[in-house]
Structure 1
Amino acid sequence: MNDIYEGAFFGRRKGKTLRPAQAKRMGKLLPRLAVDLHEPAPAPLGRLFSGAVDDITLEIGFGGGEHLVHRAGEAPRTGFIGVEPFVNGMAKALAAIEAAGLENIRLHDDDAIGLLDWLPAASIDRAYLLYPDPWPKKRHWKRRFVGPDNLDRLARALKPGAEFRFASDIDTYVDWTLRHVRAHPAFEWSAECAADWREPWQGWPGTRYEAKAIHEGRRGYYLTFRRF
């Protein structure tokens, strides 16, 4: 089944049938960690988390959660909000979160737009968009997450001075992102030399999408933009 939602920025919602243990976590652990968009966002946003946090990071489309779980494990005083509508990716991330005993992660299993609109203004310290669906066909480019409307949403949610980090192995999407983000009045590209966009960020654990790209002979590009 090609479960693609018309007008969405993601593709399939479901892949293989979940194993019983995965389904159990989806039914019990996900509701405990899920952000409830039907309730007003807490003020300050750090109250989403059971423990005290010093800052908050958002990851849009975390895939299997490799990067999200790694970062949350190395920074227990940072609260992480992860977004992933793909059921199988969410199930994989939940298993890793449970195994690591992490309490500084909250999750959203639907389109990121609803979450971005729910977040209080200037509440996020850093945002990641890593190896997003490139929608390579020109007629699908409107589905690429990076665009004026979503950049407006990100700009509203990010604190002044916060970073928006983007990674992709698709040249056309990298060019697209540079063009759109640099044209937005709320962002500036922070690169000062080639290494700033050819090398991953400090502490980078890699992702399965990056590994696939490298295996297929493509390299990743790592763009950092700063919110004015």
Structure 2
Amino acid sequence: MPGAEKQRQAFQFYGRRKGRPLRKGRQSLFDELLPRITIPLSEAAPLDPAALFVPEPRAVWLEIGFGGGEHLAHQAATHPDVGLLGCEVFESGIASGLSHIAERDLENIRIHPEDARVLLAALKPRSLDRVFLLFPDPWPKRRHAQRRFVNRGNLDRLSELIVPGGELRIASDDPTYVEWVLQHVPVHPAFEWLARGPADWLDRPTDAIETRYEKKAREAGRVPHFFRFRRR
């Protein structure tokens, strides 16, 4: 994918891509299933993600950094008429996501095993109905703040991709990142915070599930926060 490689080089990625070697079964999924559901990118016209699915879905949702893939798989299984795009760079996370897809025989998921910004740059405007950013790396040190996904540039791009009335959902258990989200998203002219009251952000959306990262946070005594923003 020459177009994808060119765009990849335009972004500096921070974080791990590989951990321990994959077990045989997961390596097989990586070798056989992943190529079949990887999102193709090129330097041609912007990509219409709905065209990746047959039949065409009623909506397209994107999860940025799907971790182990349990939330991505849950949404795909619960909403079979929705096309799910999942971005993840960590090899073990991708393999875990592939396991969920294979076990549940999910046909409505496509994977971008690379930096999410590469995919965002390639998508057609107003082609996403919902975007999830769940428990991203908070980069808590002040000198690393520029590495946080929530920033004006990424929010501007998401505002171009999400349809009016669509949703951006963000979750974090890190106090620094929670404050960072509040400082950046509600003040962006394209997004309206869907908060019904002060305690609303402590409740996980009813159509979501507890991910391993949320469970780990609660076991460590940290408080997860859940934000829902609507594209104006």
TM-score range, shorter chain: over 0.9
Provide Cα deviations, 1:140-168, integer angstroms capped at 9, x if missing partner. 11100000111011111100111100000
Q: Trace 1:5-20 onto structure 2 (pairs within 5 A).
A: 7-8=12-13, 10-20=14-24
Matched, 1:50 2:54: yes
SS at 2:180 equivalent: helix
Structure 1 residue 41: deviation in Å? 4.6
Number of residue pairs the alignment of both structures matches: 221
SS at 2:72 equivalent: helix
The 1:42/1:137 distance shift into structure 2, 3 A limit, reads closer
Pick one of 201, 213, 216 that aligns with 2:217: 213
Pick one of 92, 99, 102 that aligns with 1:98: 102
Q: Which residue of 2 aligns with 1:36?
A: 40
Pick one of 71, 77, 83 that aligns with 1:73: 77
Give the letter for the 1:75 counterpart. Answer: H
Give the letter for the 1:151 counterpart. Answer: L
Provide Cα deviations, 1:20-65, integer angstroms capped at 9, x if missing partner. 211111111111101011264554x312113331111100000000
SS at 1:96 equivalent: helix
SS at 1:166 equivalent: strand
Asked whether the equivalents of residues 47 and 123 of structure 2 are also in contact (C-alpha less than 8 Å), the reply is: no
2:38 and 2:113 map into 1 onto residues whose CA distance is 8
The 1:204/1:48 distance shift into structure 2, 3 A limit, reads same
Query: What are the ranges of 5 or more consecutive residues in structure 2 without an aligned counterpart?
Result: 1-10
SS at 1:183 equivalent: coil
1:138 and 1:191 map into 2 onto residues whose CA distance is 28
SS at 2:120 equivalent: helix
Structure 1 residue 203: deviation in Å? 2.2
Matched, 1:155 2:155: no
Give the letter for the 1:102 counterpart. Answer: L
Q: Which residue of 1 aligns with 2:227?
A: 223
Q: Trace 1:101-116 onto structure 2 (pairs within 5 A).
A: 101-116=105-120
TM-score (norm 2): 0.92
